[in-house]
Amino acid sequence: MSEDITHLLRDWREGDLAARDRLVAVLYPELRALADRQLRGERANHTLQPTALVNEAYLRLSGLERMDFQDRSHFVRMAARVMREVLVDHARRRQAAKRDGGHRVTLTGLDVAEEAGNVDALALDGALTRLEQIDPDKARVVELRYFGGLTIEETAEAMGSSPATVKRHWQSARAWLFDALADGG
């Protein structure tokens, strides 16, 4: 299956739009499940649904002028990053429209203390951006695990690292994010 996806990605890269459509059909259930996990902890009246998140991410990915996905892991990494961008853009639009603090996301997927409650998507994005400047590998682990929904093993494969290293980065990044978000920036 992974080899088929790699071939579809190669064919898409070479301009075959039918390969792009087949790739999306194959990966859509996985991307939909990712989006569902990301949005599961949202408030009941949240206006962005998992299908809309996947569709917006797909539109952004397919609209890239230069698409050079190497394999399934690379594609999922990019989809996770794009989904993060979609969520942040959605939060910014809501915040601008309502000035009510914006879109909220939970840190349930980060396994931090329950008292953290909901966190503003913009605050989380800002904290991840700061973490990226300090330690890009730890930020990438968070992006892949939290936004991409990958397991420790899948994250290790996607990063070309060992599961033990990913576990250390994951634990350290969660603690850093908890502190950064608790401090309010």
CB 24 within 8 A of CB 72: no
Task: List the domain boundaries for the chain.
Answer: 2-182
Cα gap 10→133, rounded to integer Å: 32
pLDDT in tens, 138-157: 998 988 888 777 889 988 98
Contact 148, 34 (CB under 8 A): yes
pLDDT digits (tens, 9 = 90+) for 26-68: 888 888 887 887 776 555 556 778 888 888 888 888 776 566 7
DSSP state for residue 119 in the 8-state scheme: E
| Cα dihedral across residues 83, 86, 92, 97: positive or negative | negative
Most confident option among 12-16, 75-79, 81-85, 136-140: 136-140
pLDDT tens profile 97-111: 665 444 454 444 444
